[in-house]
Amino acid sequence: MGRPPQHTTDDFLDAAVRIFAAKRVAGVTMSAVAREVGAPSGSIYHRFSGRPALLAAVWLRTLADFQQGYLEALDRESPVEAAIEAAAQVVRWCRAHPAEGKLLYEGNRAFGVDDWSPADRDRADEANRRLDTAITKVVRELRPLTGRSTDELMLALVDLPYAAVRRHLDRGEAPPPRTVDLVTRTVRTLLSG
């Protein structure tokens, strides 16, 4: 019976996020992640076949974590409240996870999505489909309720919350608490006219 591993997969992924926050994606190498964890270089290869698999795992874990709360917010009974809560959730999540927020804002192209395995690309595509389906449903319900166009609703649901957090994430800091209230009030105003 072998010894249990000293370092978990999450230890390696957490280290990759820390490195990304400090050095962007170029700094996220297999050896840098192993050093950050304090593990021998070979141990990272027991979990990830190479850098594309590591980058895919970082992206997919972060995306799943973000989408969990966002999709729950979009699933509220009232479409107006769903949109307001989803926009606020973007800010709340980025406040709690500024490095991961910056990571998602960077986009999966920066994480070499074209080099990922077909299975990892499929997982990313499926996550994007779930998100698109949920947003499309809320937008479809909101149009007759609010009289707003799809573009106006997408501004409220997607563009506005990301614009509100971007400058903070670019500086490597969490958005201030007042940003949640600002986004909530602005989206409510956009939806109510």
pLDDT tens profile 145-171: 999 999 999 999 999 999 999 999 999
Q: Is residue 179 scored above 80 in pLDDT?
A: yes
Provide the whole-model pTM. 0.91
Residue 1 predicted with pLDDT over 90 = no
Sign of the CA dihedral running 8, 14, 17, 19: negative
pLDDT band at 6 (very low <50, low <70, confident <90, very high): confident
* 41 pLDDT tier (thresholds 50, 70, 90): confident
Task: Give, as one character, the DSSP assignment of residue 115.
Answer: G
At residue 39, φ and ψ (nearest 5 deg) are -110, 155
Nearest CA among 164, 26, 154 for reference residue 93: 164
Mean pLDDT across the chain, nearest whole number?
A: 94
